[in-house]
Amino acid sequence: AQTVSRNDDGVVTVGGVDVKQLAEEFGTPAYVMDEDDFRARARAWRSAFGQDADVFYAGKAFLSRAVVRWLHEEGLNLDVCSGGELATALSAGMPADRIAFHGNNKSTTEIRRAIEAGVGRIVLDSFQEIVRVAHIAQELGVRQRVQIRITVGVEAHTHEFIATAHEDQKFGIPLAGGQAAEAVRRALQLDGLELIGIHSHIGSQIFDMSGFEVAAHRVVGLLKEIRDEHGVELPEIDLGGGLGIAYTSDDDPREPHEIAKALTEIVVRECEAARLRTPRISVEPGRAVVGPTAFTLYEVGTVKPLDGLRTYVSVDGGMSDNIRTALYEAEYSVALVSRASDAEPMLVRVVGKHCESGDIVVKDAFLPADLAPGDLIAVPATGAYCRSMASNYNHVLRPPVVAVKDGEARVIVRRETEEDLLRLDVG
Ligand code: LLP
């Protein structure tokens, strides 16, 4: 977060609020989100792409009603991928025509609800879904705007589980073997659908633009094929999300304006070569908007030195509030934030309180050797895919999201309570 600094006592403040105050008032663990930083990043994406393009924030990274309002105010659109995300978006007043509905297995209930609400586009992910959406739209007397998600055969340089445009995975319709062209053929024949474009998402936490280059080349190639076969120039393409952020000092992400410039240039160049009108471009950043805007604040519970190995630091959360380390071997950093320390650095592993040895938050890091129970530590860059992937494993209560701004803190998602847990248990 941009407004992080240390006061004279070495206590970290964010958005003008110090972390000791936050811990006292809201408890730990807590996700602390810097509202100004979120808005600044959203605005940077919006202005980088300008009026001839659309930015759809990917709600899966983190979604709450406050965030939906911020996005709306900053002029972003929203990508949702479930009925729950759609309900959150609508309940916070996001205009339905600024919502894109994604997913590889949307239920008929979800599809009906999205069409009734008037979502701006549904991104079709399979042959069955093309027919399913067309059917429901026709039943409702609507011509639904849709895009077809294709897989362009690019293997993005990222963890295997989050790369999505290579061929052997569940998303989209392969370009290979003429399948995508066949999907377009079918969609164009169905009265319930208005095909507005082609969608491609190649993966997540990507730094190298060359994957997008290949993807754009192939998407434009398909647009050309469609023009030649059907005489239609589809007006839009979506290049998905996936832009990487800095989790540790080794990562060197690009700024939104550099990304916008690179993507736009690629598309314009490819379209000129294919003699096509340049379609309206959209993108779907999630992590790059919200990831850096929050950190997780934990209290240290135990400090356990293992001779000759490292020191295990247990915090009051763990894999239930951040599954990314266990799931993707994600790397994070950590800092002591409740005081200054001149002590020597010691090698630590920050672990959670769950009954599982893979319950690791930060695999390798250094913290001052005088670290003690009661100290507060913060793990930065947990705004994306942490609260949204949080679980109740071991019946641990999911932490709150506290937004800070101008010296004030307010809860935007409250901490779960034991009553919340027990309310679901009706046996
Ligand atoms: N658009 C589509 C169609 C997507 O599937 C995704 C992410 C995005 C946009 C946003 O990607 P982003 O800009 O946030 O990278 N849980 C994993 C990431 C899964 C991403 C899934 N799709 C993680 O924690 O790294």
Q: Using one digit for the tens of pLDDT, what is the confidence trace for 185-220?
A: 999 999 999 999 999 999 899 998 888 988 999 999
What backbone torsions phi and psi does residue 21 show, to the nearest 5 degrees? -65, -45
**Do residue 296 and residue 406 come from a single domain?**
yes
Q: Is 109 helix (H, G, I), strand (E, B) or coil?
A: helix
Mutate to test the pocket of ligand 1, among 287, 290, 319 (most ligand atoms within 8 A of CB): 287
Determine whether the annotation assigns residue 57 to a binding site.
Answer: no
- CB 398 near ligand 1, within 6 Å: no
The closest residue, in CA terms, to atom 19 on ligand 1 is 162
Q: What residues are labeled active site?
A: 355
- pTM flag (> 0.90): yes
pLDDT digits (tens, 9 = 90+) for 56-103: 999 999 999 999 999 999 999 999 999 999 999 999 999 999 999 999
| Whether 192 contacts 133, CB under 8 Å | yes
**Do residue 244 and residue 273 come from a single domain?**
yes
Distance 104 CA to ligand 1 centre (A): 13
Which residues, 6+ apart, have CB-to-CB distance to 180 below 8 Å?
Answer: 148, 150, 173, 174, 198, 222
| Entry field: residues in the chain | 427
Instruction: From the CA of 324, give the closest atom in ligand 1.
Output: 24
**Do residue 183 and residue 241 come from a single domain?**
yes
Q: How many CB atoms lie within 10 A of CB 168?
A: 7
**Whether residue 15 has pLDDT greater than 50:** yes
**Do residue 39 and residue 28 come from a single domain?**
no
How does residue 3 score in pLDDT terms, banded at 50, 70 and 90?
Answer: confident
**Whether residue 172 has pLDDT greater than 70:** yes
- If one counts the domains in the chain, the total is 2
- In terms of DSSP H, where are the helices of 154-209? 179-189
Closest CA to 247 of 320, 159, 310, 354: 159
| Whether 322 contacts 29, CB under 8 Å | no
- CB 385 near ligand 1, within 6 Å: yes
Determine whether the annotation assigns residue 247 to a binding site.
Answer: no
Task: Pick left, alpha or beta for residue 99 (phi over 0 → left; psi -120 to 50 → alpha; otherwise beta).
Answer: beta
**Do residue 104 and residue 161 come from a single domain?**
yes
Q: Which of 152-166, 237-251, 359-373, 387-401 has the lowest mean pLDDT?
A: 152-166
CATH of the domain at 336: 2.40.37.10
Kindly tell me the burial class for residue 142, based on how many C-beta atoms sit within 10 Å of its own C-beta (0-12, 13-18, 19 or more).
middle
**Do residue 27 and residue 55 come from a single domain?**
no
How does residue 422 score in pLDDT terms, banded at 50, 70 and 90?
Answer: very high
**Do residue 229 and residue 306 come from a single domain?**
no
Determine whether the annotation assigns residue 385 to a binding site.
Answer: yes
**Which domain does 158 fall in, by range?**
35-291
**Do residue 25 and residue 50 come from a single domain?**
no
**Do residue 15 and residue 77 come from a single domain?**
no
Q: Which of 241, 266, 291 is the last residue of a domain?
A: 291
Average pLDDT, the chain: 95
Q: pLDDT value at position 189? A: 98
Spatial separation of the C-alpha atoms in residues 421 and 185, rounded to whole Å: 49
Q: What is the mean pLDDT of residues 285-311?
A: 97
**Do residue 392 and residue 311 come from a single domain?**
yes
